[in-house]
Chains A and B, each alone.
Chain A
Amino acid sequence: MIPVPEIQNREGCPRALIIIPAFNEARSLPQLIQQISSLYPQYDIAVINDGSVDDTVQVVRNLPARLISLPCNLGIGGAMQTGFCIARDESYDIAVQVDGDGQHPADQVRLLVDAVRQSGCDIVIGSRFLSPEGYQSTLSRRLGIRIFSLWLSAICRTRITDATSGFRALNRRAIQLLSRNYAEDYPEVEAILVAHRAGLRICEVSVEMSARSGGVSSIGGLRSIGYMVKVSLAILMCSIRRGEIAP
């Protein structure tokens, strides 16, 4: 294992942690982590291995990234929350969420980090629909995403076009909030609502995504119907739940 250097204060540069939740992503992780570490040597990378049964552990041990291995599978929400807890405990300024499947191009991480620093927003979502370039997903998925985006836009009174995007950057306030309260399954949509109810500001930047380079999507076939039902219920339940207090 490559020892990770101690985190140091870097003048003029925010301390950012790039969190990559990974479940059986041994094929796509090497390229992704190599790209991120060569593009952003100033940022730390944490791979949250969510109980993978492939070679994810062995692969990541030989890469310039921290490896946090959950003893059992918690789901994407539990894995991401682990990353937020690390970012909170180690006082990172910014946490960037990047999927381990290669859908989120490493060179676009800078867009999110810059947006968090300059826009004054607490959460910046990388949206693939602000400009029609790059991978736009299948028609049925786009329809589902559009429904949730319109719904959330109406609730949050701000324009959201890609509510399910897992390509996000958070500042300290958002890290504090989501490290305490993050849904277990399909958490992206609910997280926007939780943040809005806590008074956090959310905005989007345009990014180009690509089709996944490895692994299998957790949403497909009948699961996509379950996804729509679950997320719809989550939005309704979140609306009647007592709101979180902003940190």
Chain B
Amino acid sequence: MQTYGHFLVFSTTLVVFLFVLWLVRRRSIGERFAVLWLLISVFLLMASSVGYRYLFEIARFVGVPYPPSALFFLAISALTMLIIELFAWVSKLNDRTRVLTQQLAILRERVEREQAVPPSQPGR
């Protein structure tokens, strides 16, 4: 950590990492997303500590003259991927909810019909 700015970035990503760990411990976040967010937070932690010094070199290597732009590009790309993944997940949940709603209605009608028919007398 060379400057106050570096320390700020590092501590922020550390908070993110600890927050994800806390969510996992509380089981507030599902396994599917917990793994994803743990990977993201570990990556951010590495990038903000040991990887920070390589940012300029990587940016120069890929031909981006202003290094923070490369960082923003990576961050926005990652967030876009994450949003698409969430959309796919919401669509899947929507499908499941629809099937459950339909099955609930069908079963409820079946129960109502059975209850409407008087039970047969024992011994007949």
Q: Chain A interface mostly helix, strand, loop or mixed?
A: mixed
Q: How many A-B residue pairs have CB under 8 A?
A: 41
Residue of B nearest to A184 (CB): B98
Known contacts A70-B101, A71-B101, A184-B98; is-contact A85 B106 (Cβ 8 Å): yes
Q: Does B62 contact A (CB under 8 A)?
A: no
Q: Which of A112-169 contact B (CB under 8 A)?
A: none
Q: Does A81 contact B (CB under 8 A)?
A: yes
Q: Does A1 contact B (CB under 8 A)?
A: yes
Q: Does A3 contact B (CB under 8 A)?
A: yes
Q: Quote the shortest CB–CB distance from A27 to chain B (angstroms).
A: 23
Give the complex CA separation of A1 and B109 in angstroms.
11
A78 touches B113 (CB 8 A): no
Q: Quote the shortest CB–CB distance from B109 to chain A (angstroms).
A: 5
Q: Which of A50-96 contact B (CB under 8 A)?
A: 66-72, 74, 78, 81-82, 85-86, 89
- Residues on the A chain within 8 Å of B106, using CB: 68, 82, 85-86, 89
Q: Which of B92-115 contact A (CB under 8 A)?
A: 98, 101-106, 108-109, 112-113
Contact count band on B: 10 to 19
- Residues on the B chain within 8 Å of A66, using CB: 109, 113
Q: Quote the shortest CB–CB distance from A69 to chain B (angstroms).
A: 6
A69 touches B109 (CB 8 A): yes
Give the complex CA separation of A67 and B105 in angstroms.
9
Give the complex CA separation of A69 and B110 in angstroms.
11
Q: Quote the shortest CB–CB distance from B104 to chain A (angstroms).
A: 6
- Residues on the B chain within 8 Å of A81, using CB: 98, 102
Q: Does A111 contact B (CB under 8 A)?
A: no
Q: Does A4 contact B (CB under 8 A)?
A: yes
B102 touches A74 (CB 8 A): yes
Q: Which of A1, A4, A71, A184 contacts B105 (CB 8 A)?
A: A71
Q: Quote the shortest CB–CB distance from B97 to chain A (angstroms).
A: 9
Residue of A nearest to B104 (CB): A71
Residue of A nearest to B107 (CB): A68
Q: Does B50 contact A (CB under 8 A)?
A: no
Q: Which of A167-209 contact B (CB under 8 A)?
A: 184
- Residues on the B chain within 8 Å of A3, using CB: 113, 116-117
Over the window 47-61 of chain B, the binary record of Cβ atoms lying under 8 Å from chain A Cβ atoms (1 yes, 0 no) is 000000000000000
Give the complex CA separation of A15 and B102 in angstroms.
22
- Residues on the A chain within 8 Å of B109, using CB: 66-69
- Residues on the B chain within 8 Å of A1, using CB: 112, 116
A1-B116, A70-B101 known, 10 other contacts, Cβ within 8 Å: A3-B113, A3-B116, A4-B113, A68-B106, A68-B108, A71-B105, A74-B98, A74-B102, A78-B101, A85-B103
- Which are the 9 A-B pairs with shortest beta-carbon distances? A3-B116, A82-B102, A68-B109, A70-B105, A68-B105, A78-B98, A70-B101, A3-B117, A1-B116
- A residues neighboring B (CB under 8 Å): 1, 3-4, 48, 66-72, 74, 78, 81-82, 85-86, 89, 184
- B residues neighboring A (CB under 8 Å): 98, 101-106, 108-109, 112-113, 116-117
